[in-house]
Amino acid sequence: MTEFKLNATAASLLGFLHDGPMTGWDLVTIAQERIGDFWSLSQSQVYRELSSMSVAGLIKAGERGPRDRRPFTITDVGRAAFAEWLNRETGEETIRFPLLLIVLFGQHVPKQRLAEVIIEHRERHARQLADYEKSLEDMVALEHIPTSQPDPYAMATLRFGVKYEQAVLDWFDELPEVIRGR
């Protein structure tokens, strides 16, 4: 279809632009809110991708507005590239979990420090699980309002987050005592 090979970050930006014109700042914000828990991207990545996609004709830059912000709109070429990307193989998942590196090299970490890191990360995951469960509860509550229905795609993603955090917490609970510092 197009010469421009979309990566997942660029594709996510095109996905958000299906909702209407957005500035780079808007895209950074929405990406952090909607996919930041499972897909990392930086402000510089967003602006780099916007520049490349604009040159490739996938998006069109609008007039500069307040604070010199420029809205971007997805073009027909961009919609076609996005559809093409959706039909490609998804590729393998990559786990980037820095804590696993610490655990892998745990024999080189002072026992007290390892225990502190484990406790800190377990607490983070417990908080994230609580946040996801609250968001899921809020979404489920929408099912009881006749004029509002939850987005099934967002719900499925959120349920994955809940299951993931539960699995990670189970893993923490099953760690050998030598790693937990007990």
pLDDT in tens, 156-175: 999 999 999 999 999 999 99
Provide the Cα torsion 155, 84, 39, 24; round to 10°.
Answer: -100
pLDDT tens per residue, range 117-133: 999 999 999 999 999 99
pLDDT of residue 182: 64
Q: Which of 19-23, 38-42, 97-101, 139-143 has the lowest mean pLDDT?
A: 139-143
Cβ neighbours of residue 162 under 8 Å, at least 6 residues apart?
Answer: 129, 132, 133, 136
Residue 1, pLDDT above cutoff 70: no
Structure tokens at 54: 């604009």
pLDDT of residue 23: 94
pLDDT tens per residue, range 130-159: 999 999 998 888 777 777 777 889 899 999
Helix (H, G, I), strand (E, B) or coil at 44: helix
Instruction: Quote the CA–CA distance of 10 and 53 in Å, as a whole number.
Output: 8
Structure tokens at 87: 């039909």
**CA–centroid distance for 27 within its chain:** 12
Q: How many other C-beta atoms can be found within 10 angstroms of the C-beta atom of residue 66?
A: 6
pLDDT of residue 64: 82
What type of residue sits at position 181?
A: G
Query: Mean of the per-residue pLDDT values for the chain?
Result: 90
pLDDT of residue 172: 96
pLDDT tens per residue, range 39-96: 888 899 999 999 999 999 999 998 887 777 889 999 999 999 999 999 998 888 887 7
Instruction: Quote the CA–CA distance of 157 and 136 in Å, as a whole number.
Output: 10
What per-residue string of b and e applies to 13-37 under the rule 16 or more CB within 10 Å gives b? bbbbbeeeebbbebbbebbbeebeb
